[in-house]
Each structure stands twice: as C-alpha cells, then as structure tokens.
C-alpha cells in the first residue's frame, strides 16, 4: 500500500462534466476531472485563476465561492450539486490551463448524501 492510498479513505473518482463557478456575480465555466467526498478537481482557464487572485486575502488565501456541477444518478438523469468551496491547490498545466483542487466548505445535506451514494456506488463497481 502506498502513502497516498493510506491517507485517503476514498479514492478519487474520475468524473467528466462541466462545473460553474460563481465569483463576483460572474459565472465561470470549468471542466470536472475527479471527485472525492471532501472536494473536486477542475480544469479551468487563466481568466478564472486571475479573478480568484484578485480576491486573495492579506494572508494569501483564495476567497470562498459558489460551485455547481452535475452528478449522474442514472443513465439518463443528473443531479445538480451546489456547494460553497475554497481552493486547496492551483497548478498551471499549460499556457491557459490550470488544475484547481477545491474543498467543499458548505454542502447541503441532500447534496452530501447524493455525493456519498455516488462515490460508494463507484467504489463498489
């Protein structure tokens, strides 16, 4: 067993789709890469990172913001998950591409249950 799997209760689950980040009243689009019970990783453009940097605190922390993404609950049905998030990491991949690790700060009870069910289903598959 390697160190990463020892630290993580749930493995990351690949998930492809779109996520919307609401910052300063503006919706920014990003692409979902993977998901865990505590957060999500997205790929975004430089403009979003630039916007986030404008709102860093004096301690260098990114602001909390609203996030929405869709979770497949069946082959034809999706559930929109909404959460307040913060940035755990920001890594530049290419000229205009960044990976953001986002932590769920506030997740509604029903959304949290839906997320847990989805992750348990993926783990069992």
Residue 102 has pLDDT above 90, yes or no: yes
- Cα–Cα distance for residue pair 67/107, rounded to 1 Å: 10
Q: Give φ, ψ of 97 to 5 degrees.
A: -130, 130
Residue closest to 84 by CA, chosen among 98, 63, 113, 70: 63
Residue 2 has pLDDT above 50, yes or no: no
Q: Are strands 65-72 and 13-23 parallel, antiparallel or unpaired?
A: antiparallel
Q: Is the pTM of this model over 0.75?
A: yes
pLDDT 10s digits, 34-68: 999 999 999 999 999 998 888 888 888 888 999 99
pLDDT level of residue 9 (50, 70, 90 thresholds): low
Residue 110 has pLDDT above 90, yes or no: yes
Query: For position 53, which CATH number holds?
Result: 2.40.10.220
Residues spanned by the domain of 98: 3-124
How many domains are there within the chain?
1
Measured from the Cβ of residue 11, the count of other Cβ atoms closer than 10 Å reads 13
Residue with tokens 């049905």: 77
């Amino acid at each position: 067993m390697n160190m990463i799997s020892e630290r993580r209760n749930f493995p990351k689950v690949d998930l492809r789709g779109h996520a919307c980040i609401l910052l300063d009243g503006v919706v920014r689009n990003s692409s979902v890469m993977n998901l865990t019970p505590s957060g999500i990783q997205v790929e975004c453009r430089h403009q979003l990172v630039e916007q986030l940097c404008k709102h860093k605190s004096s301690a260098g922390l990114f602001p909390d913001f609203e996030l929405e993404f869709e979770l497949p609950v069946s082959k034809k049905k999706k559930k929109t998950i909404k959460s307040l998030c913060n940035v755990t990491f920001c890594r530049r991949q290419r000229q205009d591409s960044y990976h953001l690790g986002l932590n769920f700060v506030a997740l509604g009870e029903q959304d949290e249950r839906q997320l847990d069910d989805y992750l348990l289903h993926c783990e069992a598959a």
